[in-house]
Structure 1
Amino acid sequence: MRKNEIINSYFYTIICFCFICLVASSCASRKKANIRQQKVNTLVKTARSYTGTPYRYGGTSRNGMDCSALLVNSFDIIGINLPRTSKEQSEQGQKVKLKDLQPGDLVFFGSKKNKRRISHAGLVTEVVNDDHVKFIHATTSLGVTESNVHSKYYKKLFREARRIF
């Protein structure tokens, strides 16, 4: 009987330890998700603060900026340094499928002349549903504005998406 009590006590200890580890890892995952969400909120808020800023090729300020500068300036606020060009930015982080986009992801596009070459970038700000994913970017005609990735124009030029953090 004494031997059975020791074995039962041993198994009880292991089960308790496993349960505590499971709860602790769950809390850590939630904390990590909350930290990511806070960073995304700050990132989107910062990018949206540039809405209406006119487009200027090579520009990096509120007087005028291009699409990659919008991303550099926005990510800088949360302590992430992105390269200066949209092509170099498209090599950062991990690839994400169009159907898996989340706020904070980067989206990259080609141009009408050369769809294969990445020439434009934006930041996903909101996922309304499968057919409506808003992203903020600097356009030559409207300056910094938000558009739908799934619009006829942008869907045709879409190249890839990346998750930086």
Structure 2
Amino acid sequence: MKNLVFIIIFIISFTSCKSSKVVKDKNTSTSRQENVQNDADNTLENHVAESETLDNSETSKSIAENIIDYAVQFEGVRYKWGGTTDRGMDCSGLVYESFRAYDITLPRISRDMAKKGEKIVLKDVLRGDLLFFKTGNRRNTINHVGLIVDIRDNDIKFIHATTNNGVIISGLNETYWLKAFFEARRIL
């Protein structure tokens, strides 16, 4: 009964008004005004699908930004194998804690994280995606992860924890990281 009342209210609210929404164009970084009109002819199914699509894209963007902001607060923290606090962090601990802060549970180890989400090509990466590396360990397995925080000047900037410098932001164009790069994955 509650669901039926909700559906009726939902239909009435969308058939009796117009709304407009500012949408940011990803390609030009400028905003444009996009009118979203809901006609009486549209079905409830179309309204729900459209609403869920808008909500999911806005939520994903917000979560990615929040995860990045959370991770960046650890910049400068010293490296500590197995660490997950501001007293010391390793690379997978940084990513694990940053996602966990927003109720997204990932495996604790970078090679297991690399089994989650969707593999993507570098030209399609976005802020909040993960980069995985093989840094010359004897088993030739993924042993390092970084979180993309920015894409600028034809370079992908990512935050990670290194044994020598702790939590830092590096560029994928740096020779060492470009050579060790293995794959990119989207979790959000």
Match of 1:156 among 159, 179, 188: 179
Give distance in 1, aligned partners of 2:82 and 2:179.
25
Q: 1:49 to 1:81 in 2, by over 3 A?
A: same
| Relative contact order, higher structure (CA 8 A, sep 6+) | 1
SS in structure 2 opposite 1:122? strand
Map residues 1-165 of structure 1 onto 2, 5 A cutoff. Answer: 17-18=41-42, 25-114=49-138, 116-128=140-152, 131-165=154-188
Partner Cα separation in structure 1 for residue 137 and residue 110 of structure 2: 17
Indicate the structure with greater helix content: 1
Q: Which runs of 4+ in 1 moved over 6 A?
A: none
Q: TM-score w.r.t. structure 1 length?
A: 0.82
CA deviation map 1:26-76 (0-9, x unaligned): 443222111011101110000001000100112222111100000111001
Q: What's the TM-score, normalizing by structure 2?
A: 0.72
Residue 6 of structure 1: aligned partner: none
Measure the CA separation in 1 of the matches of 2:108 and 2:133: 16
Q: Identity of paired residues, percent? A: 34
What is the CA–CA distance in structure 2 between the aligned matches of 1:62 and 1:143, rounded to whole Å? 11
Q: CA deviation at 1:115?
A: 8.7
CA distance in 1, matches of 2:54, 2:61: 10
C-alpha distance in 1 between matches for 2:51 and 2:133: 38
Change (3 A) 1:30 1:114: farther
Determine the C-alpha separation between the residues in 2 that align with 1:114 and 1:16: 64
**Which whole-Å CA distance do the structure 1 matches of 2:143 and 2:45 have between them?**
47
Larger Rg, first or second structure (1 or 2): 1
Larger deviation, residues 26-35 vs 148-157: 26-35
Shift of 1:21: 5.8
Give the unaligned 5+ runs of structure 2. 1-38
Equivalent pairs, count: 150
CA distance in 2, matches of 1:87, 1:113: 12
Distance in 1 between residues matched to 2:76 and 2:90, nearest whole Å: 12
Q: Which residue identity is paired with 1:132?
A: D
Q: Which runs of 5+ in 1 are unaligned?
A: 1-14
Q: Distance in 2 between matches of 1:26 and 1:115?
A: 47
